[in-house]
């Protein structure tokens, strides 16, 4: 067992936003911290950035000036790597280049004690590859923070092929002592977060590419029904398309062109045009001073229905029934049926991953309308509807009137398989289960990572259990059948759990 107490010296190489943030976290926990950056003046600027951020906390009453002064007194600026000799742990936060990281860690092996733990904050490079040129590769571990490091709780603790389990345990415990929520993962492309998050962007881009709806509407559906803090297009604009496209391309290449991680031609075009998002003033949205963000497509008000019939169990959408009753609608319940809502001449069913048009033809019900998944139908502000091509206008108006009567905004989208929230959640869960199936991490760590690292409202695996793994499997299988693409193959672990009654 390796212990790292609060008196242990922590070295941080790289004084940019992330490195300075990590130095602040370590100093706040009581550690003496050595901060270094090879670029002249960068370490001083990093320290000034820490001071500026802490001054805001004093203004807000979250820290006293005395506490700030004590924290800052623990940080020492280094002149060279030689100053890292007393470090118990050294965290590297430098450029994402394998050769440079290998060179820095090789120098540290010559400078630091034989038992010094070397940690890399890499988000995309194999920890095993970094350690391959080291004499003591067992001392190297991934310690991947998320920006901004003082605020974001997640730390991915990544074990390379040679990493000593005791070293990984020590960094896990250290992260906890720093008030973080660590998760464990093997050194595989994207680790947990950057791997599991790919479908959030990819499925939104696919719906856009197929004309399912526009960016503003897709974003609104995922915010208002899925309760994600941001939709995929506004989030990609915030991250920067050069960065987001590069990560997707890197993961795609690292997994030997697995179609599940296929980059988007739409995003490539944005990068080619220099439309990188907020930082360039234009991405999916226009960020110039005079520009107005477009509003999502919202259906015009329709009459509330006189009568609603519920056939069978609506599953995860069952809360809709009570909302109808609470809204004063006349509701008749029939036990038989596969789970549908009849209002006027319309039949409404939760999307199952098929095109509504396809399902309508199979069931010989021309006025079939799919509605999308919501994280919480009680709290959802918006519901998406996708009518079959055969459906008449009266059916769509009746469906819209029903959801408006229970207080929901309605966005009508074109008939794309799985709609927006359902296909996104199904693919996020699929990737999470596949990571577990491939022994990268645990189910619990997938959910902790996605909630703590990218602020998902619900872990994708726990969300899949709430929806029902049988439903998730059916959605994925229907997507695969419709598209004929390996991209939508269902994780063997989902199939195993469904077959086992889970």
Active site residues: 123, 144, 156, 194
Tell how far CA 34 is from the center of its chain. 32
250: phi then psi, degrees, rounded to nearest 5: -65, -45
Cβ atoms of 365 and 347 within 8 Å: the answer is: yes
Half-sphere exposure for 114 (CA within 13 Å, toward CB): 0
Distance CA 54, CA 76 (A): 17
Distance CA 18, CA 15 (A): 7
Say how many C-beta atoms besides its own lie within 10 A of residue 126's C-beta. 18
Which helix (H) or strand (E) element contains residue 470?
helix 469-483
Distance CA 23, CA 20 (A): 5
**Is-cis flag, bond preceding 363, omega within 30?**
no
Sheet holding 346-350, edge to edge: 331-334, 308-311, 340-343, 346-350, 368-371, 382-387, 409-412
Give 261-300 as a DSSP string. Answer: GPPPHHHHHHHHHT--BGGGTBSSSB-STT--PPPPP-PP
Nearest to 186 by CA among 131, 138, 126, 247: 126
Distance CA 393, CA 154 (A): 48
SS3 content of the chain, % helix, strand, coil (to 5): 45, 15, 40
Cβ atoms of 371 and 348 within 8 Å: the answer is: yes
Q: Is 192 helix (H, G, I), strand (E, B) or coil?
A: coil
Nearest to 132 by CA among 92, 114, 164, 105: 105
Distances in Å between the Cα of 133 and the Cα atoms of 20, 124, 348 are 27, 18, 60
Distance CA 199, CA 452 (A): 18
Q: Hunting for tokens 């769509």 — which residue is that?
A: 396
Distance CA 45, CA 203 (A): 40
Which helix (H) or strand (E) element contains residue 120?
strand 117-120
DSSP for residue 481: H
């Amino acid at each position: 067992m390796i212990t790292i107490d609060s008196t242990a010296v922590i070295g941080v190489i790289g004084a940019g936003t992330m490195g300075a943030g990590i130095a602040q976290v370590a100093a706040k926990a009581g550690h003496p911290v050595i901060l270094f950056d090879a670029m002249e003046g960068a370490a001083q600027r990093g320290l000034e950035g820490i001071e500026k951020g802490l001054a805001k906390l004093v203004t807000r009453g979250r820290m006293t000036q005395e506490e700030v002064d004590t924290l800052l007194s623990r940080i020492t600026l280094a002149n060279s790597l030689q100053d890292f000799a007393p470090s118990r742990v050294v965290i590297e936060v430098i450029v994402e280049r394998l050769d440079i990281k290998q060179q820095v860690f090789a120098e540290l092996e010559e400078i630091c004690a034989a038992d010094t733990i070397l940690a890399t904050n890499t988000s995309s490079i194999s920890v095993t590859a970094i350690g391959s040129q080291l004499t003591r590769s067992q001392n190297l571990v991934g310690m991947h923070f998320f920006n901004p490091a003082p605020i974001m709780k997640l730390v991915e603790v990544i074990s390379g092929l040679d990493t000593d389990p005791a070293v990984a345990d020590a960094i896990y415990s250290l992260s906890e002592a720093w008030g973080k929520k660590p998760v464990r993962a093997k050194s595989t492309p994207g680790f947990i977060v950057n791997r599991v998050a790919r479908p959030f962007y990819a499925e939104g881009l696919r719906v856009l590419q197929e004309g399912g709806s526009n960016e503003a509407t897709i974003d609104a559906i995922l915010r208002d029904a899925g309760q994600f803090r941001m939709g995929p297009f506004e989030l990609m604009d915030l991250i920067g398309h050069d960065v987001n496209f590069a990560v997707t391309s890197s993961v795609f290449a690292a997994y030997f062109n697995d179609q599940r991680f296929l980059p988007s031609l739409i995003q490539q075009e944005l990068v080619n045009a220099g439309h990188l998002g907020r930082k360039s003033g234009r991405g999916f949205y226009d960020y110039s001073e005079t520009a107005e963000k477009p509003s999502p497509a919202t259906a015009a008000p329709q009459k509330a229905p006189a009568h609603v019939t519920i056939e069978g169990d609506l599953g995860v959408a069952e809360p809709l029934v009570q909302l109808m009753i609470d809204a004063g609608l006349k509701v008749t319940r029939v036990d038989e049926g596969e789970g549908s809502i009849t209002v006027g001449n319309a039949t409404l069913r939760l999307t199952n991953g098929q095109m509504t048009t396809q399902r309508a033809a199979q069931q010989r019900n021309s006025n079939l309308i799919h509605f999308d998944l919501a994280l919480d139908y009680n709290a959802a502000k918006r519901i998406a509807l996708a009518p079959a091509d055969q459906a008449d206008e009266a059916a769509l108006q009746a469906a819209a009137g029903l959801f408006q009567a229970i207080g929901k905004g309605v966005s009508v989208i074109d008939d794309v398989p799985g709609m927006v929230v359902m296909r996104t959640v199904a693919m996020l869960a699929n990737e999470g289960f596949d990571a577990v199936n491939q022994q990268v991490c645990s189910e619990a760590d997938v959910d902790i990572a996605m909630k703590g690292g990218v602020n998902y409202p619900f872990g994708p695996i726990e969300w899949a259990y709430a929806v029902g793994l049988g439903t998730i499997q059916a959605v994925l299988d229907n997507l695969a059948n419709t598209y004929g693409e390996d991209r939508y193959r269902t994780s063997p672990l989902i199939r195993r759990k469904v077959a086992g009654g889970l």
